[in-house]
Amino acid sequence: MTRTFRGKDLRAVWLLGLIALFLFADQNLMAPNLTQIADEFGFSAEQRDVKLGGHISLSFWLFGGVIALFIGYLTDRMGRRWLFGAVVLIGEIPCLLTGFAQTYEQLFWLRAATGIGIGGAMPLVYSLIGDYFPAAQRPRATAYIGLAMGLGIALGQFAAGFLGPDYGWRLPFIVVAAPNFVLGALFLITVKEPMRGQAEDSLDEWLASDPMSEQGYVYTGQISWSSYRALFRVPSNLLIFLQGALGTVPWGVFFVYLNDFLAQEKGYSVRSATAIVLFIGAASIAGSFVGGLWGNRLYNKNPALLPLLCGIATLVGVLPTAILLSYPSQIGVDDPALVPPLVIGMVAGFSVAITAPNVRAMLLDVNPPETRGSVFALYNLADDVGRGLGPFLISAMIVVAGRLWAFHVANALWIGCGLLLLAMTRTFPADETALRRTLPMRADKLPRAKVSRLRNPRARCTLSMRADKLPGGEDQ
């Protein structure tokens, strides 16, 4: 069966990316104005790091990550379009209301609830991407989605850093939340989701295996408890989860603290610190996008080269990050030097960000269509543990050893992340081959649904149970 990527599909993917941009813009809105928020609530410097940097970050990521497990399961059981619209709405309402928070308790719980938007959107977005794109195009596709997410983080950082000092820390929350109320409604009105499994090369023959008819078949797999447990028996899944938990600790720490660290410990103004972090973020966006394109090319030469690229790039990024953290303080300097830390930070950000789109593409390639929502929810939870628990633990280390040494410890975790990625050069090709081999056999045990007009793969389906096969694959 020949697949074509139609204009409607492309518009759907762009709309997904645009919504993700504004969802992720919320992720780092507090960081540029941590001290301003702390001053308003009467917090000391230590309380600023522990309560605002540690406790709120932990609640944001873990609450969203746990809820995402439930959303990921629903992603594999029901239509994804309305579920995605609901998740966007549930995430953006508390983001908007954060702009009106008057107490620390209100701020804490609104940030926790906002985590549902990012946590719940991840399994839905990538489940849809897996059905829009075949394996040979997924690194490039995830690179574009990652580009949107990275631009969103940069947008939030820019809004908070440049609006916060003049208009207060609350306004950026309102600014970044508002667009998705419109975009979410537009998504529901205009987008029809792809059918599960339609982009799998190994299912091409099976999906068109009715030679006596002009109709084709639809993959009808749904997640079950046994298939959910099977996710933990895929070696590449376990390595991806573990590297995610380790690798997102430094990202979480630096997103929360780096802006304020540069302003308070290194002597830069809030705007200068924000500019440095924005350039690092821009380099990270470029690294993620270019890395996805590189990964796409390397995957089509040899799948083992994809995790090799990720592992090497992650290890390379550790050194410039360490240099940036140890850069001499500019406190008391009349004209603080911006270029050296900016360039060093950009090298680090570019290198480490190469991993993200390629890891997500690998996760799509080793899991069947009916479990991708759940596996991305687990992946997101592993990431959230690192992003949330990381700043929480590092904030405790800050109290004992100070910010500089605590940040060096966080940076060192990228070494473990890189080694785990290198281990995937053996597991990823084997796991991908196993899925390609077993997916048609898995499909043959499912009830079959026929779809007319193969040129329109989103036409209405009618389910026709084969007399000799039941969902469990047992003869009747």
DSSP letter for each residue of 118-180 = HHHHHHHHHHHHHHHS-GGGHHHHHHHHHHHHHHHHHHHHHHHHHHHHHH-SSHHHHHHHTHH
**3-state percent breakdown (helix, strand, coil) of the chain, nearest 5:** 75, 0, 20
Quick one: pLDDT at residue 270?
A: 78
Tokens of 207: 């999906």
Quick one: pLDDT at residue 254?
A: 79
Stretch (H or E) spanning 451:
strand 448-451
- By three-state DSSP, how is residue 461 classified? strand
**How confident is the prediction along the chain (476 residues), in pLDDT tens digits per residue?**
444 445 566 777 888 889 999 988 887 788 777 788 888 888 887 777 777 766 777 777 777 778 888 888 888 888 888 999 999 998 899 999 988 988 888 888 988 888 888 888 888 998 888 888 888 888 888 888 888 988 888 888 788 888 888 888 889 899 989 999 999 999 888 888 787 777 777 776 666 554 433 445 666 667 888 888 999 999 999 999 999 888 888 887 777 778 788 888 888 887 788 888 888 888 988 999 999 999 999 999 999 999 999 999 999 999 999 999 888 887 877 778 888 889 999 999 999 999 999 999 999 999 988 898 999 889 988 887 777 677 777 777 887 888 888 888 889 999 999 999 999 999 999 999 999 888 877 766 666 555 543 344 443 333 333 323 323 333 32
Q: Helices H, strands E: what count in the chain?
A: 19, 3
Quick one: pLDDT at residue 399?
A: 79
Quick one: pLDDT at residue 6?
A: 55
- By three-state DSSP, how is residue 442 classified? helix
Residue 255 C-alpha from the chain's centroid: 15
Quick one: pLDDT at residue 458?
A: 40
Query: Dmax over Cα atoms in the chain, in whole Å?
Result: 84
Quick one: pLDDT at residue 8?
A: 62
Q: What is the DSSP letter of 79?
A: -
Cα angle 56-396-62, degrees, rounded to a multiple of 5: 35
Residue 453, φ and ψ in degrees, nearest 5:
55, 75
- By three-state DSSP, how is residue 217 classified? strand
- CA pair distance 433, 251, nearest whole angstrom: 32
Point out which residues pair with 464 in neighbouring strands.
448
Residue 11, φ and ψ in degrees, nearest 5:
-65, -35
DSSP letter for each residue of 87-133 = HHHHHHHHHHHHTT--SHHHHHHHHHHHHHHHHHHHHHHHHHHHHHS
Quick one: pLDDT at residue 9?
A: 65
Quick one: pLDDT at residue 211?
A: 43
Quick one: pLDDT at residue 309?
A: 96
Residue 462, φ and ψ in degrees, nearest 5:
-120, 125
Domains of the chain: 7-464 (1.20.1250.20)
DSSP letter for each residue of 417-438 = HHHHHHHHHHHHHHHHHHHHHH
Quick one: pLDDT at residue 452?
A: 44
- CA pair distance 300, 306, nearest whole angstrom: 9
Full-model pTM: 0.76
